[in-house]
Homo-oligomer: A and B are copies of this chain.
Amino acid sequence: MTKPKNIDVLKQLENLFDYLFSIGQIVAVVSRSQENAEKFAATFDIPKSYSSYEKFAADADIKIVYIGSAYTEHVRLSIQMLNAGKHVLCEKPLADTLKDVKLVHNLAWEKQLFFMEVCRINKNVALPIYAACVRNEKITTKTTQDRIKEEIISKNIGEPQMVSARFFLNFNYCERIKTQIRAGMLLDAGIYTVQFACLVYGEYPVSVKAVGEVVQSGHDIDGCIILSYSKGQKACLMYSSNVKSNTNCASIHSTKGSIELKDHFWCPEEVILSTGKETNKIPVGPVPFNYPNSGGLCYEAEEVRKCINSGKTEYAHYSHKDSEMVHKIMENVAKQIGRKLPYEK
């Protein structure tokens, strides 16, 4: 077998930033602090750095902006960048109200620009297919979202009946909220579990029941949610800031079998499908990431690139409608548990 021509692309998959550079150019970084912007640019070899969001938005070289600021700035910055004609991938949570989520979506639609709230797209590398791809000299592996949807549509596992997902962290949330702008655990971690249930069932639940602890600041620090759907299907979701666990799995339990996304389910290295175990390749970064398996974000970048190149303004597996469904559920939960974030309008 001769060496595949695209072996470099495969190699680049091992490094998030190499990969980002391989599919486009990282043009500029912006921060309120010029010092921070320059430091970031130097670390990741980015040509331009800004401390003015206006000047950044006016840079004609920039086609798409990834917003990873404090969550309270997500809506304002999304609007600013969309108004400047940029496509936007915004870190979750886009907003703490459904109203604000819709505001941004409507603007993106009006401007016919790509917009997506981050939903942790991951590549699901089926090993035999992967080997075949190398031989075919192209990468055709699918995202985890694609594979799950395929499994559900094919009815290989029968009809999904129960979904479970849990996201536990142990990072002293009550201390963090004193110095950091945090959105509460529902919006910080619970959102992934809600996104997962929505991916599986694809409709708004007929019933939402939730509990959660709300501390004096108004932040919620944990929660459990039960969602019930039109055909009697259910989802049981759990999240906490005060649990040490390495079993943050998500699973779909169906009439003929199960699908399981192993810890960390939002960026899993292992997925159990009806066809057996599949493993994910998670790229590393040039410096350590703040959160586990963040290198997997390259797959999100790749999907966004494909959408933009093909003129799509939304991602099929996490459309504006999907994102709004997730936020509508979370708004319902927030109301039930009495959450009132310090920054909520």
Q: Are B247 and A226 in contact (CB under 8 A)?
A: no
Q: Which of A103-111, A252-260, A285-293 contacts B (4 or more CB under 8 A)?
A: A252-260
Q: Are B255 and A244 in contact (CB under 8 A)?
A: yes
CA distance A313 to B173 in the complex (A): 46
With a CB–CB cut-off of 8 A, which chain B residues contact A164?
A: 164, 166, 236, 238
CA distance A207 to B158 in the complex (A): 34
Residue A245 lies at the interface, judged by CB distance under 8 Å to chain B: yes
- Least CB distance from A257 to B in Å reads 6
With a CB–CB cut-off of 8 A, which chain B residues contact A243?
A: 161-162, 253-255, 258
Q: Are B158 and A238 in contact (CB under 8 A)?
A: no
CA distance A60 to B125 in the complex (A): 68
Can you name the residue of chain B whose Cβ is closest to the Cβ of A223? Answer: B234
Q: Are A228 and B244 in contact (CB under 8 A)?
A: no
Q: Are A234 and B224 in contact (CB under 8 A)?
A: yes
Q: Which size bracket describes the interface of A in this complex?
A: 35 or more
Can you name the residue of chain B whose Cβ is closest to the Cβ of A207? Answer: B211
Q: Name the one of B224, B256, B257 contacting A236, with C-beta atoms under 8 angstroms.
A: B224
Contact with B along A49-64 (1 / 0, CB 8 A): 0000000000000000
Residue A168 lies at the interface, judged by CB distance under 8 Å to chain B: yes
Contact with B along A257-271 (1 / 0, CB 8 A): 110100000000000
CA distance A162 to B242 in the complex (A): 9
Q: Are A222 and B162 in contact (CB under 8 A)?
A: yes
Q: Are A222 and B234 in contact (CB under 8 A)?
A: yes
Residue A251 lies at the interface, judged by CB distance under 8 Å to chain B: yes
Residue A302 lies at the interface, judged by CB distance under 8 Å to chain B: no
Q: Are A244 and B222 in contact (CB under 8 A)?
A: no
Contact with B along A184-202 (1 / 0, CB 8 A): 0000000000000000000
With a CB–CB cut-off of 8 A, which chain B residues contact A244?
A: 158, 253-258
Q: Are A238 and B162 in contact (CB under 8 A)?
A: yes
Known contacts A162-B243, A166-B253, A226-B226, then 10 further A-B pairs from the complex at CB < 8 Å, ordered by chain A residue: A164-B238, A168-B253, A207-B211, A209-B210, A209-B211, A210-B226, A211-B226, A224-B226, A243-B253, A247-B253
